[in-house]
Amino acid sequence: MAQGALFSPAVSPARPGAAGLLWRMVRRRRITGVGAALILIVVLGALAAPLLAPYDPVALNVPDRLLGPRDAHPFGTDEFGRDILSRTLYGARLSLLVGALVTALAATAGVLVGLAAGSSPRADRILMRIMDGLMAFPDVLLAIGLMAALGPSARNVVLSLGFVYTPRIARVVRAAVLVVIRLEYVEAARAVGASGARILARHILVNCASPVIVQGTFITAYAMLGEAALSFLGVGVPPQVPTWGGIISAGQVYLRQAPWISLFPGVAIIVSVLALNLLGDGLRDFLDPRLRYS
Amino acid sequence: MLAYLTGRLLALLPVLLVVGAVVFLLIHLTPGDPARVLLGQDATPEQVQALRHDLGLDRPLIVQFGLWLARAVRGDLGLSIFQHVPVTDDILQHAGPTVMLSLLAITVALLIGIPAGVVSAVFRNSWLDQGSLALAMLGAAVPSFWLGLSLIVVFAVNLGWLPSSGYRSLSQGAGLSLHYLLLPALALGLPNSSLIIRFTRSSLLDVIGNDYIRTARAKGVNERAVIFHHAFRNALVPILTVVGLTFAALMGGAVVTETVFSLPGVGQLVVSSVLRRDYPVIQGVILMVGTIYVLINLGVDLLYFLVDPRVKY
């Protein structure tokens, strides 16, 4: 039997950095590497959008309106002659930013709720009832309701989706806390006189990191889909900002003459979400083998 | 059984209470006076004052919530600002297309998800398995509204086989109704089949690993009977859970799909209400969908009883 099989990764003495972890994950499941590479491409494309975009994403150029894909405009142009490739690249910036901020917000709020619920039975009863209630709404519908109340803006999209996805993090954190809190090393920490807050922060929180990272990856994907749906419906980010959902929505009117307007941003959404889901599956396999699908 | 049912129904109450509270508080998130928000911009100060008194806006928030909830439970969700009709009537008038679309879409999701999942598990690690899993990955990544637009481009614009928008109710003929709903149902059902594929596969694989499956094979039961009679029935319970979850997700997705295909359903009602700032309608739709979701989950739990005789309450 190989040495590696005797020890689970969590207790192996070597502590590789992020690159080392990724390498080990990819060796276990090669498709994870594809996901990581695709995400890297999308992130680099978004960061380098001002360098890569051949045209200004918002400047009007009416003589070139509704041109099909060609050398000068690989993804074609829209009804105002704006270059779809440039708009899709700039759209990646907003989409990724919303995805990342929603994840950060949901993770922060979810960890706080999960820690409180997992460590106090009284808080648990109230908080988890609230979380169950919030999860009774379809994601997009609750987000639409919140957007209706808050008003359309990128900031409010982040707030709404962050709120919608908080229960998912809270649930996994609570479950992890309930397991970890019974372990002997927590008892040991208590025995040597560590305070409750210190035990939570230093000993319990770190052991909840894996499920949060896995869920967080999926939430980034959901949030990017959610933002696209809200902007498509016209209740998300205002239309003057290029977003994938917004470009698809504008292209809907010209579906007959210019289907490429809606086509390319849609492909960008699919590639990004697929990549995040592949990465999330790889992380889940690697960090929490008990949750493996097959 | 009766004790279980009562307990299960009682456990629903706090969840429904939270659902109600979220919907109630939505209106208080909006900047400004809820009475003015509810009545719209062209209301007179007297009307605003009257509604303030009616809604008890001068009373504590918790009392307001109690009053609102008491009305909501009786089906009184207030008046729509735009149409000036009871919200409940407005929603019921738009329910037909949404119910039809949701039922057809879950049918599509099941017709794809269950066979693909079974094939995937039975021919594990084959190209069929890889193909089903790839389909599931792709389904989870495709926005249903984009898939809808793509289907319109292919089947309505280029091939001209199916209409790109509109709705015909069942009373105008089942065939005609299906003709109009097929593309929307595909657009909504395909992406939602991915969870069903993955759960059917993993659930069936779990069962196939059991001793009684080996016994059945050993005594010479043919493979088809082993899979469908012995394995699939036992794999059904986890699959039912995910079908319930998928149905709920699908009701949310219907909002977006209806917009793509111009179906006059609840989704289009809620989107146009957001653009018109018609808050009572938005609240009503969200409350109704949340409640239906909770009831679907209850229904799924009770179905276990029928499907799996081992489940005793």
- pTM score: 0.87
Contact B157 A259 (CB under 8 A): yes
Lowest-pLDDT range of A250-254, B109-113, B300-304: B300-304
The model's pLDDT over A56-115, given as tens digits with 9 standing for 90+, comes to 887 777 777 777 787 777 887 777 778 888 888 999 999 999 999 999 999 999 999 999
ipTM of the complex: 0.87
Listed range (A41-45, A50-54, A119-123, B30-34) with the worst mean pLDDT? B30-34
β-partners of residue A83 are A77
Q: How far is CA B132 from the centre of its chain?
A: 24
Tens digits of residue pLDDT in B228-273: 878 888 888 888 888 888 887 888 888 899 999 989 999 889 998 8
The residues facing A77 across adjacent strands are A83
Res B238: pLDDT = 80
What mean pLDDT is reported for chain B?
A: 85
DSSP letters, A79-121, are TT--BHHHHHHHHHHHHHHHHHHHHHHHHHHHHHHHHHHHH-H
Among B188, B274, B294, the strongest candidate for a mutation testing the A interface, having the largest count of A CBs within 10 A, is: B274
| Mean residue pLDDT across chain A | 85
Q: How far is B60 from chain A (nearest CA, A)?
A: 21
Residue A248: list chain B partners with CB under 8 A. Answer: 143, 145-146, 149
Which residues of chain A does B124 touch, with a Cβ-Cβ cutoff of 8 Å?
294
- A165-204 pLDDT, tens digit per residue, is 999 999 999 998 988 888 888 888 888 888 888 888 788 8
The answer to whether the beta carbons of residues B253 and B146 sit under 8 Å apart is: no
Q: Which residues of B touch A134 (CB under 8 A)?
A: 18, 22
CB contact under 8 A, A137 and B19: yes
Picking from B17, B141, B253, the nearest residue to A274 by CB comes out as B141
Q: A124-150 b/e with 16+ CB inside 10 Å = b?
A: beebbbbbbbbbbbbbbbbbbbbbbbb
| pLDDT at res. A252 | 87
Whether residue A232 and residue B138 make contact (CB cut-off 8 A), yes or no, is no
Measured between beta carbons, the chain B residues lying within 8 angstroms of A141 are 251-252, 255, 270, 285-286, 289
Write down the pLDDT at residue B196: 92
pLDDT above 80 for A7: no
Q: Do A144 and B255 touch (CB under 8 A)?
A: yes
Question: Taking CB atoms and an 8 Å limit, are A294 and B22 in contact across chains?
Answer: no
The answer to whether residue A4 scores a pLDDT higher than 60 is no
Give CA separation, A98 vs A156, A157, A272, in Å.
Answer: 10, 8, 13
Calculate the CA B308 to chain-centre distance: 24
Give me the pLDDT at residue A15, please.
Answer: 58
Under 8 Å CB pairs connecting chains A and B tally to 152
- Predicted confidence (pLDDT) at residue B178 exceeds the cutoff of 50: yes
- The residues near A220 (Cβ < 8 Å, ≥ 6 apart) are A99, A100, A102, A103, A276
CATH fourth-level superfamily of B94-307: MetI-like (1.10.3720.10)
Buried-state track B168-186, b at ≥16 Cβ within 10 A, e below 16: beeeeeeeebeebbbbbbb
Sort out which chain B residues have CB atoms less than 8 A from A234's CB and list them. 271, 275
3 state SS of B86: strand
CATH 1.10.3720.10 in chain B is located at 94-307
Q: How near does any CA of chain B get to the CA of A146, in Å?
A: 7
CA pair distance B155, B183, nearest whole angstrom: 8
Q: CA nearest A136: which of B289, B88, B282, B103?
A: B289
Q: What is the pLDDT of residue A162?
A: 96
What is the pLDDT, as a whole number, of residue A294? 34
Instruction: Report which of residues A17 and A133 the model is more confident about.
Output: A133
